[in-house]
Structure 1
């Protein structure tokens, strides 16, 4: 009895010392959740469960900053997706999910930010992990969040560390997400008190050739063969910064005309421009990548068109971005030169990355 009492006191002391509350279970009942109309609350396997066919379920009246979020997800071999959302605010959020049909494949688990209700998984291949799932019963997905970093666990095994969460939001709602139908149970949340505010300063990039800022327009509906370069100069441009890798997640800054419906979205485009000043006539190498499609102009002349959309080059084509995928030798004139990139997107990640050498 004395040993049991000592263990309880020690556990409570550790929780207080680290500012960590115990995991609080959120009942799977309508009174606790905001859910889509077709969601189902039902008893299954002697548990309260929530079945999400498509969309997000959010815990009512709960704001999350730091701590742990955990949920059990029932095994599902069919093509489907199931995960956790956190720090949801103003249509931006962080998301961790399992591709239920991809057990032990390189992209079984994914972290991605959501910007303006748009997923960006194509832009973040480095935040995928090869993880085996149980093919029967329940799999437990857990996310431990500390300021601007997160550790991700599946069935109590750490599978990924995200060193810097991308939305840079500090708090917001929490909940679940599914596509093509999945069953959730045993949702739990704990809160951790951390005095230190998130460090939003960008670390110095090791490659001085990476483009770290662009000027971009707002978004416009895209109609093929109806773009006119002469109109680009008339548009209003806003200066924006890239992530430390050089990636420009366009949806972070620009809201599309349609979002959240994946390949059913309409295509939108923005124009991103960069000015290059050259002391002499010279040739420089422009390495870049994009999602989904691009047209590159140099001093008003179209020099490249490409399509990197999901499955654009076959059913296995993911459309991930890599700064060294495309290379153009730019014939620069003495004085001011301008690159204009028309970046077109439908879904899964609207991005641009480049460097000049």
Structure 2
């Protein structure tokens, strides 16, 4: 009799544990979702589906920390983007999406943090992956989130590991995102505790001469040829820290006045400044990169004017950043020297990175 009781208790405990770890399906019905006005709920291919034309939908009254999120996306060969967002709060979120027109290309799948409603994929070229999409039927996208990291699967094949989620947010809303129209179905979520303390993977840093703190201004509208040094030389600056790699994701600290419309955004700029103290007059190399455009001043004199915007240098030019892309020979004077970088942005990633060689 005792053995039967123990067996019953074991089976009950196993069923409860299995039920807790089973995915929950969020039906594609208006009662479950906050959607844009032009979203459609339709029966299609014997399924309940959600059609997002351009925009984001979030699950009502559901917060997510760790676990698995999965959705099916109907095949499409024309240009479109379809993805999952998670830990959304205060206009910041994490996002992974499929570029369905880029099947088998190097950037078929991308990860980006969203800061202040702005995408930043240009700043994180390491988080892109090649995979092949089905050209008929449904493609599945699954994200497994564990504290600071995540793994991405397309059609049950792992395509990417995100070793350091960038927003530093531990929980928030979950949802879907589409651009140029996509159909979603079979949305599932499974929560897990991941109570083990996980140390965030250090963000690649190998040099101690990287600039890791900048003073930055607020955002201003940009007009070509109308930014003068005397206009910002007495600006108020706040001091911010870069990621360990030296990357300064400007949108994390500064909210643009026009945002969320990609290439339809208006250009805006901030000024980022740092001070170099030199024991004597000498020439020093400043290695740097930026997105989208930059003006570099040393002690009030314009030394560099560059444009690294998306597709500026050809239809396949992505505008990714690398700290060794540009080099300036700075004629430093004895004492204090001030570098001012006017960083201009429209969309896809507002960033600056630099080091003094």
Report if TM-score (shorter chain) is over 0.5: yes
Q: Give, in whole Å, the separation in 2 of the partners of 1:255 and 1:135.
A: 39
CA contact (8 A) 1:20 1:67 kept: no
Gaps of 5+ in 1: 1-5
3-state SS, counterpart of residue 101 of structure 1 = helix
State the shift of 1:282 in Å: 1.3
- The one-character-per-residue Cα deviations of 1:156-194 (angstroms, maximum 9, x if unpaired) are 111110111000000000000000000100000011112
CA change 1:14–1:318 in 2 (3 A) is farther
CA contact (8 A) 1:81 1:99 kept: yes
Q: Number of paired residues?
A: 349
In the other structure, the counterpart of 1:146 is 146
Alignment of 1:238-317 (within 5 A): 238-317=238-317
Q: Give, in whole Å, the separation in 1 of the partners of 2:21 and 2:224.
A: 54
State the shift of 1:206 in Å: 2.2
State the shift of 1:47 in Å: 0.5
In the other structure, the counterpart of 2:215 is 215
In the other structure, the counterpart of 1:3 is none
CA change 1:66–1:232 in 2 (3 A) is same
In the other structure, the counterpart of 2:59 is 59
In the other structure, the counterpart of 1:205 is 205
CA contact (8 A) 1:86 1:173 kept: yes
CA change 1:20–1:278 in 2 (3 A) is farther
CA contact (8 A) 2:204 2:245 kept: no
State the shift of 1:71 in Å: 0.3
In the other structure, the counterpart of 1:333 is 333
CA contact (8 A) 1:271 1:342 kept: yes
- The one-character-per-residue Cα deviations of 1:245-294 (angstroms, maximum 9, x if unpaired) are 11100000000010000111011100000100111111111111111000
Return the TM-score normalized by structure 1: 0.94
CA change 1:307–1:20 in 2 (3 A) is farther
Alignment of 1:42-57 (within 5 A): 42-57=42-57
CA RMSD of aligned residues (A): 2.0
Range moving further from structure 2, 255-264 or 194-203? 194-203
Gaps of 5+ in 2: 1-6
- The one-character-per-residue Cα deviations of 1:4-59 (angstroms, maximum 9, x if unpaired) are xx9xx799759949x97211000000000000111110011110100100000000
